[in-house]
Structure 1
């Protein structure tokens, strides 16, 4: 291996490490963090007589598939793939240039059984904003999704995974749980489909949460191989709320595998 190649490999690994670290990033004190598995098991213990969910991640080997930052031009092609594969995902949609530009795509997401979450209006770091500023980033997306689909999101993903107790307090007031992740391809930094596939497959584990962005060129072509390979490995791909069931997302709580 040449020195240049070694440096390239180190740089690629560093990008993955930085993106993964962002899933735990907080610019202040952060309480109220739990894992989907712990929440699910607690709910099952509290209500032992309740019927099992249609997809039971207590027995199935589940992983949640999530996408950030859409909808965008490539999103319909992604929805075609998910429909063909009979897989449902969670889409954390953005507002400016997205929900206000592609409302029919948001409607299609809902009609085809995907979960829609909030990824802010303009992707600002919420930990740098006051309560009014945080609300201004969240409320318009809530209104857009409700106006388009008739349903208001109950989950959100903070940009770059950056959150703290102040953000959590606003999310509790607005009725939103925060969802971080455990597997990412750093697809914002590469258009190489094979690299995206490899990174996701290497990081995926049971009860994990996969983060991808359909707007980047290498991502949508990677999705069929990711789905097929994970299913061959025994995984059931689900939405975040399916991963959590029989629990339901709790406003203000931060979910991190």
Structure 2
């Protein structure tokens, strides 16, 4: 007759393994359930263009310094009856108020290019907030306009910068068609690049700072070329009404 001997140590070990397995299964089930009932927070992105089939694009200019280029750029836009969005820095607005005031008077959109021309992602949240609000105060003081769009210096941003800007009621605007006019590649090179890169819903980047002396000569050709391609040029805020903002 076979005698059954109860092994308590073995039983205890099996019970421990089973208990661990059961707890892990419960945790995994709870996490999966929570994921199903909780909306996944999508990664934040700046706005690079708009999804649309219509031939519409926004022509934008960054300005941080100088007085030679802004005037000719505004003259050309006026001659072609084109409204653009100008991303201007706080110090420049305060130092040369005649240009920001003219931008507003001629129906263009005022936006912010921040206070210091630095990579905001290298700074703390409080410093980013201070940068944005300092520029906002100066721009409003000169133009009477509180900007709601910002192009971060050097196009630099991360989640913290984006979140901070949004908390201050700003949309961060980048670009999908870069003229590279700041590299001074030649007038025709600037024109060819813009005409090639512009697609429906594009945000075009040009500069009206004095470091971009080829821009005034290139701009009329850009405007004529885009018109021949059938494009309507609007401000960024107007462009955002045409479709969903996107990164690609």
| 2:22 is aligned with 1:31 | no
State the match for 1:130 in structure 2.
124
State the match for 2:190 in structure 1.
196
State the match for 1:232 in structure 2.
228
Q: 2:90 touches 2:139 (CA, 8 Å); kept in 1? A: no
Q: 2:94 touches 2:142 (CA, 8 Å); kept in 1? A: no
- String of CA shifts for 1:141-173, please: whole Å, max 9, x gaps: 211121122220000011222111101111012
Q: How many residues align?
A: 204
| 2:247 is aligned with 1:256 | yes
User: Residue 157 and residue 182 in structure 1: after superposition, are their counterparts in 2 closer, same or farther (change >3 A)?
Assistant: same
State the match for 2:216 in structure 1.
220
Q: 2:49 touches 2:246 (CA, 8 Å); kept in 1? A: yes
**Aligned-pair CA distance for 1:33:** 5.1
Note the residue ranges of structure 2 that are not aligned, 5 or more in a row. Answer: 1-41
Q: 1:71 touches 1:99 (CA, 8 Å); kept in 2? A: no
- String of CA shifts for 1:175-224, please: whole Å, max 9, x gaps: 10000101112222115111111111111111011001122111111000
Within a 5 Å distance, the mapping from 1:158-177 to structure 2 comes to: 158-177=152-171
CA distance in 1, matches of 2:185, 2:216: 10
| 2:71 is aligned with 1:76 | yes
CA RMSD of aligned residues (A): 2.2
CA distance in 2, matches of 1:164, 1:209: 20
Note the residue ranges of structure 1 that are not aligned, 5 or more in a row. Answer: 1-28, 39-57, 249-253
CA distance in 1, matches of 2:171, 2:139: 16
State the match for 1:94 in structure 2.
89
Q: 2:121 touches 2:157 (CA, 8 Å); kept in 1? A: yes
CA distance in 2, matches of 1:239, 1:106: 16
- String of CA shifts for 1:34-84, please: whole Å, max 9, x gaps: 66535xxxxxxxxxxxxxxxxxxx674101100112463110111111011
CA distance in 1, matches of 2:49, 2:238: 10
Which of structures 1 and 2 has the bigger CA Rg? 2
